[in-house]
Amino acid sequence: MKRIRNFSLILVAAILYGCVEYENKKFDDVPYVNVNSVELYIGAGAPESRKSLQLVSSPSGKQYVWTSLVPGVATVSQSGLITAVAEGFSEITIASENHTTSVSVRVRKWVPLESFTLGAASLYVNFNQRLRLLVIPEPVDASEVNVKWTSSRPDICPVIDNGWITFWGDEGESAIITATVEGLPPVEKLFKRLKLLDRSTWSFPGTELPRDGNRGTYGFSTSHWSDGGGIASMLDENNGTYWHTAWGSPNSNYPQWFIADLGDEAVIDGVVFRRRQGDARGNIGYWFFTYKEAGDLPTDGSNSPPWFRDDNNTNKMGGVDNWRDYWQQHGSDWPFNPNTDDEQTNYMDEENLPVGRYLLFYFNTNHRGGGNNVMISKFKLYGNYVN
């Protein structure tokens, strides 16, 4: 019995060994390649490296049979070199004695890149803000867009290969990110961390003159002094105070305006207004100007500087046409939403930033909201002083 048992064990072991040997022989010639899909191109401008591709098979040293199922689209050599022939789809098979592996092939017409722009990432950034610049090719179906990225200030705004930036600069600092594609002009994008201007030197011309009820001066249209605190309230830190144009002594309506003296010349990045809190009857927009002339704002020592007078000698700049000769307008109708208590910022054109010491904000008749008056709680500016 013992001999029979030993024989049985030997027989089972032999069978198992044979199975293993069979499995090894069965699978030791499975072909492997380094990709499972290929995209190639034909046509003018297509780089040679995109017209063909050498596949790498393993195990190395094995001989396989390479076949293209649609040779009119792509051919393949017995060394694994695939070559594009015409647009379409094909499949490359790699066969051993017992197994077959396949690679899908798509051949497309080469569409050269003619130009590109950078997507509308925010110009103004905060500290430690991270964002990505998107490349928009022209035409949109360009076959290849290989962009190299550089930063003018890698110390505060590094950029990595896929267009991601992180901004670490201080207030007022900026960096230019440049995207370059071989054979095309570079495209630049400016990023800036905004800085609020110090308001300690600001004033409103004309407030030094004796008051005549709530009538205005050469520096502002009207101010209802007993309602909100007067025009200077736009510069304090109390959101409960505000400039309210006159609704009595006398009654007033649009247009309204005020002039701000910054005390020194500044480059303006953005204009910030906050409405009278909780009141949606105010203006829905405004015009913005800087004074064209150098030096101090001329007043002739009176309430009627030359750009302000009209035929009736009234305090209304809209009564004369020549006042615009003294002021440079920036933009057209800047929007303002009277339905929110939040600060609202309008950003200037970065290619043509306003520069000036004296700023005029004009609320025309088309900027009238739900009431007859302008009611502004706070006024600020983003930018940098020239000196």
pLDDT in tens, 156-187: 999 998 999 999 999 999 999 999 999 999 99
Under the banding of pLDDT at 50, 70 and 90, the label for residue 314 is very low
pLDDT in tens, 204-230: 998 988 898 999 888 898 999 999 999
List, in order, residues 6 or more apart from 293 with CB less than 8 Å away: 326
236 has a pLDDT exceeding 80: yes
Place of tokens 């076949």: 67
C-alpha angle 194/383/243, rounded to 5°? 105
Amino acid at 333: D
pLDDT on residue 323? 73
User: Has this prediction a pTM greater than 0.85?
Assistant: no
Quote the CA–CA distance of 130 and 120 in Å, as a whole number. Answer: 14
Token pair for 79: 């060394």
pLDDT on residue 305? 65
Strand partners, 90: 105
Place of tokens 């739900």: 370
Quote the CA–CA distance of 278 and 5 in Å, as a whole number. Answer: 99
pLDDT on residue 351? 87
Domains and CATH numbers, the chain: 32-109 (2.60.40.1080), 115-192 (2.60.40.1080), 215-385 (2.60.120.260)
pLDDT in tens, 247-261: 999 999 999 999 999
pLDDT in tens, 92-119: 999 998 899 999 999 999 999 999 999 8
The DSSP letter of residue 247 is: B
Quote the CA–CA distance of 286 and 376 in Å, as a whole number. Answer: 12
Q: Which residue has the higher pLDDT, 339 or 10?
A: 339
Segments in the chain forming alpha helices (H): 2-27, 48-51
Quote the CA–CA distance of 327 and 364 in Å, as a whole number. Answer: 15
Strand partners, 104: 37, 91
